Amino acid sequence: MTFLTMIVAFVAAILLTPIVKWLAVRLGAVDRPNHRKVHQRIMPRMGGLAIYGAFLVGYFILRPESEYATAILIGASIIVLIGLLDDLMELSAKAKMAGQLLAAGIVVFYGGLDIDFINLPFGGQIDFGYLSIPLTLLWIVGVTNAINLIDGLDGLAAGVSTIALITLAVMASFMDNLFVVAVAAILAASCAGFLVFNFHPAKIFMGDVGSLFLGFMIAVLALTGFKNVTMISLIIPIIILGVPLSDTFFAIVRRIRMKQPISAPDKSHLHHCLLKAGFSHRQSVLIIYAIAALFGLAAILFSQATIWGAILIIGILLLAIELFVEAIGLAGNNYKPLLNLVRTKK
């Protein structure tokens, strides 16, 4: 039944996207070229509305059950409204953050979804106590904005989100969490349908309505699937979201090193660095897809490994990320501590 619903969601996204494109043009929800953006012509945005619509079609056909379902749908709808308003009239950063906190708060306070504790790998437990709510809010808002930040090339955010959602669905199936399996699968199919129009050369952008919605859903699904489990399991969603979280982390590092505000926009994100390295638009997107898929595979291997095997996987991942970041200049062109160390020893 889930597979058939995925097909329905996929087709629904293909049918809805041209309608949303027409509506975006009529309402003036368009993205104009500027010095920070890669595209060279005016593009309709708010395509994420088609992803949201296709997802709702699939969701209400399948009706997966969970104690968190109502809160997640309400929170997601608030996020979609905030993203839609931003695509139409460009909200202030404070207004967007307030909307994100409201949506996250619905899930946490009304839905009761938060991380209360984690079990340590060598015995014992960490009880977060009063920190459980702010940590959960931070996770939801952080991941929501991480997906938003990587939405810089045709098909990038939709493709990376699809890979992350498929990985989440696979991981949730190992844990028999049918709600996360169903919702992640339907959402992945909706993204795939939208990619028909969004992959390079794109005919429409997903806009903030799409990137915020996907980020929010991935954040809450990861929490739903890995709530109150071991520390090893808690690391899994972080690995799955390795691409957007790494890009966000090193953007913060880069801006601190350059003594710029953390929220300051720039053209040094992962996709910008790949373009500067000489890769084409499409090649850059496919490279990031491959990296996202490797993170997804690493998360699956990580979940099946022993404690020491998991530690080894984390070590290899961190080393690989650092070397890649230094090689492409993601944290700044003069940030190459490991590469400089290797050259010095030679």
Instruction: Answer yes or no: is pLDDT of 40 > 70.
Output: no
Which of 56 and 233 is assigned the larger pLDDT? 56
Bridge partners, residue 230, by sequence: 119
CA 57, CA 190: separation in Å to the nearest integer?
A: 10
Task: Find out whether 204 and 43 touch, Cβ atoms under 8 Å.
Answer: yes
Which of 281 and 234 is assigned the larger pLDDT? 281
Task: Find out whether 146 and 245 touch, Cβ atoms under 8 Å.
Answer: yes
**pLDDT, tens digit, 9 for 90 and up, residues 293-340:** 988 888 888 877 777 888 888 889 888 888 888 888 777 677 777 777
Locate all alpha helices (DSSP H) within the chain, ordered by sequence.
2-27, 48-62, 69-89, 93-105, 132-149, 156-174, 178-198, 207-225, 231-240, 242-257, 270-276, 281-304, 307-328, 337-345
**pLDDT, tens digit, 9 for 90 and up, residues 137-196:** 998 998 898 888 787 788 888 999 999 999 989 988 888 889 999 999 999 999 999 999
Task: Find out whether 135 and 128 touch, Cβ atoms under 8 Å.
Answer: yes
- Where are the domains positioned within the chain? 2-345
CA 317, CA 329: separation in Å to the nearest integer?
A: 18
List of residues 6+ apart from 111 with CB closer than 8 A: 67, 68, 70, 71, 72, 75
Which of 230 and 217 is assigned the larger pLDDT? 217
Region 93-118: mean pLDDT is: 89
